[in-house]
Amino acid sequence: MAAAIASGLIRQKRQAREQHLDRPSTNRRRKSPNKNKGLCNGNLVDIFSKVRIFGLRKRRLRRQDPQLKGIVTRLYCRQGYYLQMNPDGSLDGTKDDSSNSSLFNLIPVGLRVVAIQSVKTGLYIAMNGEGHLYTSELFTAECKFKESVFENYYVIYSSMLYRQQESGRAWFLGLNKEGQAMKGNRVKKTKPAAHFLPKPLEVAMYREPSLHDVGETAPKAEVPPSKSTSEPAMMNGGESPFFSVLAPPPPPLSLLHPPLLQLFQHAGGADSEVAEFPQHRREEDL
C-alpha cells in the first residue's frame, strides 16, 4: 500500500515537471516583426556614434596644438637705449620708451633659447655667419638666440648657430653708445653693449614657428648704413645690411617663458631693490 502511494506521488511529480518544461517562456525577448526597421535603427546608431567619435578626435587634436608661453616686452640696453625695429626692417636703439617699434615677442623655441620677433612688423631678428644682424620674415636657425642671465641680473642674447672658431667665444646681440646695432663678434658679454633688461608688458601664448632653411630668406631691400662719429662701424655691424620685406602680423596673443620666469623667481629672493626687477626697476638706477 505504502509502495503504491509512493509510486503515485513520484509519477505526479514527474508529470508536473514535464508540463513545466513544455510551457513557453515569458521572459524570452520577442522578435521584431519588421527586421528592416531594426537594421535601420542599428545603422543610425552606428552613424551617430562615428560622428561623435570623429568630433571627439578633432577636439583632442585641437587641444594638442603646440602652445608656447612667451611675453611681449621691450628690451632696454645698458647703453641707455631700447632696441627697436624700424618699418624698413633696420635695427637700432631709441630712447623713446613708448614707441611701438620697440615692442618684441619673446618666443621660447628651446631650452633657454628664444626667438625675438617684432610686434609691429612681424619680422624675426637674425644673425648671419659674419656676425651681422638682419631681419627675416621666415624663422630659421639664424633666428635662434640663447638667453642667459648675467651676474648683474641683466640678460644677454647670443647666437645659437655661430661663434668664434678659434676661441669658441659666443657672438652677442648688442648696441653701441650711439644706439647702433653691432656685429656679434665685436660684442663682449662683460660690456654694457650686450646687457639687456627685459621689461615685460604682457604674457602671451604662441604657436611654435615653423623652422625654415637659411637659404629661404633671400634679401630683398638694401638699407644704407648710418654714420658714426666715434667709430667707423656702421649699422648692424659695419656693412650695409640687407633686410627682408615686411611680413604679416604676428600670431594672436593670449604666460612668462621659462628663462625669464626663473629670473623673476631668483630676483624675488634678493633685497627689495633687486626684487623689483625687471618691471619696476628705475632707469636712473642703471
Torsion of CA 268, 269, 272, 274, to 10 degrees: -70
Note the maximum CA span of the chain.
141
In whole angstroms, give the CA distance from residue 126 to residue 118.
Answer: 12
Torsion of CA 96, 98, 102, 105, to 10 degrees: 160
**126 Cβ partners below 8 Å, 6+ apart?**
133, 134, 135, 136, 140, 142, 143, 217
**pLDDT at position 29, please?**
61
Pairing of strands 104-110, 67-77: antiparallel
**pLDDT at position 216, please?**
76
**pLDDT at position 33, please?**
55
In whole angstroms, give the CA distance from residue 110 to residue 145.
Answer: 10
Residue spans per domain, the chain: 67-258
Residues of the chain predicted below pLDDT 50 = 39, 217, 219, 221, 223-256, 264-265, 267-286
Q: Establish how many alpha carbons lie within 13 A of residue 107's alpha carbon, considering only the half-sphere containing its beta carbon.
A: 29
Q: Establish how many alpha carbons lie within 13 A of residue 227's alpha carbon, considering only the half-sphere containing its beta carbon.
A: 1
Q: Please return the burial class of 3, using the count of CB atoms within 10 Å of its CB with bins 0-12, 13-18 and 19+.
A: exposed
**pLDDT at position 67, please?**
84
**So what CATH class is 67-258?**
mainly beta
**pLDDT at position 8, please?**
74
The pTM of this model reads 0.58
Going by C-alpha positions, the residue among 108, 95, 101 that lies closest to residue 139 is: 108
In whole angstroms, give the CA distance from residue 45 to residue 49.
Answer: 6
